[in-house]
Amino acid sequence: MQKKLAFILAAGIALTGCADLFYGNTTILSKGKNKYQAVNNGRDSGSTLSAAKYKAQAICQAKNMHAVYTNTTTKYQGIDRNVKASIDIAEEIFRHKHHRRHPNDNIDVYSTDTGSDDDYIVTLDFKCEY
């Protein structure tokens, strides 16, 4: 029983640590009177917003309150979407014609990643309430 409890505790701590690593780049700005703004950059809008909400909930839970979201803005600031789509199409055509794999580790030799961890910026306004 003790081994099972120790395993559950260790897994919980490990998962919490992973969550902090994933959501760790969110900046929280205090606006006074339990009002805050979470600002986060990310590769896609969905996970970037989720990270901001995670941090907002953590701030409010630390005060035994819950987060109420009052405003959200998402801005794409990466490479032009048309250029990105063109590069992705060209890469797919090239892969189809010249499909090769690295002999040692099965990684595609030809890979163009046009994404960045700064492609999206999400601003989430929230307040902590009882």
- Asked whether residue 1 is domain-assigned, the answer is no
| Count of domains observed in the chain | 1
Is 39 domain-assigned?
Answer: yes
CATH number at residue 69: 3.10.28
Determine, yes or no, domain membership for 56. yes
Give the residue among 56, 61, 32, 50 at the shortest CA–CA distance from 120.
50
Q: What one-character DSSP code corresponds to residue 26?
A: -
32 assigned to some structural domain: yes
Q: Taking a C-beta distance cutoff of 8 angstroms, is the pair 123, 70 a contact?
A: no
Q: How would you write the pLDDT of the chain (130 residues) with one tens digit per residue?
A: 555 544 444 444 444 444 444 555 899 999 999 999 999 999 888 999 999 999 999 999 999 999 999 999 999 887 777 887 887 788 777 766 655 555 555 555 555 666 677 689 999 999 999 9
Task: Report the half-sphere exposure of 51 (CA within 13 A, side-chain side).
Answer: 27
Residue 67 domain-assigned (yes or no): yes
The boundaries of the domain holding residue 64 are 26-78+115-129
